[in-house]
Structures are given as structure tokens and as C-alpha cells.
């Protein structure tokens, strides 16, 4: 019955539903031979409806989040889980975003069901660089790199200054921003504090990971080599 629990925890159905999948012969090995619930077989040698099983617990994936989607399971509007196979929402442990991008921010978003890995990536002491591109409503003033990189810049209602951020102008109304922390709506609040407004915001990279050609709404499972790139 360990196979029933495994497959149910991957979100393929309740234990009763997975038991029915076994009875219907839908769980097989790569050669199409029917498997039974008490068989001992490697994860990679299990097929559901002729397709390989999703990765086991510890999965890490990268999503190119489009604008208009919320990093939530219960928001009444569109959520990031709508972009994934429905069973991903039912995995146990829960597949969660690693940090969050607000509804109108697009770009690279990691998701995992590994709580320790999630904490390792998001912990403030990790100081992983996150690179964004912002387009602005007004021209850059010219002193943003100095102000945001000072290490003394304070946002409204905050009690500690921001860690130095790197600002690279791309045009009069666009900039590349590198952060090593992730406060609530940080980039939008930074530019608002100097009299500007962020029109669009996209995350390009996290650590050494980039979107690598993923189109908006696309995702892929990451492997150990990809994970190593997070820490360069």
C-alpha cells in the first residue's frame, strides 16, 4: 500500500481514487505491465496512464509568472496554480512559492514542497541577488543609484534601512535593479519614495538562475544542477 500513499501524496487523487486506478490497470511499469499496490518498484519505473510520475517530495520548479496572477491558493482571481497541472495543487507536502511576486509583477518564480530548501533560499542571511527590470512613469532623476545604494535609505513605516541595492539605468524610464533582500513591494515603494511610479516590473534572475527562454506561463522542473546555480 506504500505505492497508494506515494501516488496520492503526489496529487493524483485520494487514496481511494488511487486504489481504483490500480484496479483499473492504470498504474504500470515502463513496459506497460500492470503494477499492484504492494509491489516494490522504483519511483522512476512507475507510470500513471502511460506517463512517468511527477517528481517525488523535494520537487523544485521554475515558473515564468505572467502579470495578473496571485501567489496564493485561495485568491478569488487567477492564481499561479492555474498555470500548473491541477494535481500539483493537491500535493502533500504543499507545493509553495519560494518568496512571492505581487499580482502585477512578472518573471522568475521558484516553487517547492521542500520546507527546508524554501527557508534556505528565502532566509535573509542567504542574501541571494535578485535582478529585476522596471519601467517607470517618469524619467529617472539621476541620483537613484546613490540613494538606493547608500545602505541608509529608509522606506516609510520601516524601522531598519534597506540593504544597498544596485541600480543600472537602461533608458530614461527603465532600470535594472539588483536586491539582496525582499521586503513587501520593495521596488515599487523605493521608486515611490523618490517621486516616481513603477509601471511594469519583471524578475529576471534569482542567484544564478535565469528564465532561460521560458515564456510567460511556462514552467519546468529543476534538477540538482539547476539548484546548484541558485548559489552560483
Pick from 210, 144, 204, 216: nearest CA to 173: 144
CATH number of residue 82's parent domain = 3.30.70.580
Q: List Cβ neighbours of 5 (8 Å cut-off, separation of 6 or more).
A: 15
Q: Do 147 and 93 sit in the same domain of this protein?
A: no
Q: 145 phi and psi, to 5 degrees?
A: -60, -40
Active site residues: 102
CATH number of residue 166's parent domain = 3.30.70.1560
Q: Do 133 and 198 sit in the same domain of this protein?
A: yes
Select from 31, 52, 73 the last residue of a domain. Answer: 52
Task: Give the pLDDT score at 1.
Answer: 61
Q: Do 202 and 212 sit in the same domain of this protein?
A: no
The span from the CA of 56 to the CA of 7, in Å, is 9
The span from the CA of 10 to the CA of 134, in Å, is 37
Select from 52, 72, 89 the last residue of a domain. Answer: 52
Pair 64, 213: CB distance under 8 Å: no
Domain that includes residue 163, residue range: 129-206
pLDDT by residue for the chain (232 residues), tens only, comes to: 699 999 999 999 999 999 999 999 999 999 999 999 999 999 999 999 999 999 999 999 999 999 999 999 888 899 999 999 999 999 999 999 999 999 999 999 999 999 999 999 999 889 999 999 999 999 999 999 999 999 999 999 999 999 999 999 999 999 999 999 999 999 999 999 999 999 999 999 999 999 999 999 999 999 999 999 998 7
Pick from 43, 54, 46, 55: nearest CA to 22: 46
Cell readout for 133 is 527590470
The span from the CA of 192 to the CA of 178, in Å, is 17
Q: Do 159 and 103 sit in the same domain of this protein?
A: no
Q: Do 73 and 116 sit in the same domain of this protein?
A: yes
Q: Do 135 and 202 sit in the same domain of this protein?
A: yes
DSSP state of 113: S
SS3 110: strand
Q: Do 218 and 113 sit in the same domain of this protein?
A: yes
Domain count for the chain: 3
Q: Do 155 and 143 sit in the same domain of this protein?
A: yes
Q: How far is CA 75 from the centre of its chain?
A: 17
Select from 33, 52, 71 the last residue of a domain. Answer: 52
Q: Do 78 and 188 sit in the same domain of this protein?
A: no
Q: Do 89 and 120 sit in the same domain of this protein?
A: yes
Q: 187 phi and psi, to 5 degrees?
A: -65, -40
Q: Using H for helix, E for strand and C for coil, what is the string for 135-175?
A: EECCCCCCCHHHHHCCCCCCCCCCCCCCCCCEEEEEECCEE
CATH number of residue 24's parent domain = 3.10.290.10
Q: Do 111 and 222 sit in the same domain of this protein?
A: yes
Q: Do 114 and 225 sit in the same domain of this protein?
A: yes
The answer to whether the pTM exceeds 0.85 is: yes
Amino acid at each position: 500500500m506504500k505505492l497508494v500513499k506515494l501516488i496520492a501524496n503526489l496529487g493524483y487523487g485520494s487514496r481511494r481514487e488511487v486504489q481504483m486506478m490500480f484496479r483499473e490497470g492504470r498504474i504500470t511499469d515502463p513496459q506497460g505491465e500492470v503494477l499492484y499496490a504492494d509491489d516494490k518498484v522504483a519511483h522512476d519505473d512507475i507510470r500513471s496512464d502511460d506517463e512517468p510520475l511527477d517528481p517525488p517530495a523535494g520537487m523544485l520548479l521554475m515558473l515564468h509568472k505572467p502579470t495578473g496572477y496571485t501567489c496564493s491558493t485561495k485568491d478569488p482571481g487567477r492564481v499561479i496554480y492555474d498555470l500548473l497541472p491541477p494535481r500539483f495543487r493537491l500535493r502533500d507536502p504543499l507545493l509553495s512559492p519560494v518568496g512571492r511576486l505581487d499580482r502585477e509583477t512578472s518573471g522568475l518564480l521558484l516553487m517547492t514542497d521542500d520546507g527546508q530548501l524554501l527557508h534556505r533560499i528565502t532566509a535573509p542571511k542567504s542574501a541571494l541577488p535578485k535582478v529585476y527590470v522596471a519601467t517607470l512613469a517618469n524619467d529617472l532623476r539621476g541620483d537613484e543609484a546613490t540613494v538606493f545604494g547608500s545602505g541608509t535609505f529608509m522606506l516609510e513605516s520601516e524601522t531598519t534601512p534597506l540593504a544597498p541595492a544596485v541600480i543600472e539605468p537602461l533608458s530614461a524610464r527603465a532600470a535594472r535593479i539588483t536586491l539582496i533582500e525582499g521586503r513587501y513591494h520593495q521596488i515599487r515603494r523605493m521608486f515611490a519614495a523618490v517621486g516616481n511610479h513603477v509601471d511594469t516590473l519583471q524578475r529576471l534572475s534569482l542567484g544564478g538562475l535565469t528564465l532561460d527562454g521560458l515564456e510567460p506561463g511556462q514552467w519546468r522542473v529543476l534538477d540538482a544542477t539547476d539548484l546548484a546555480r541558485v548559489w552560483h
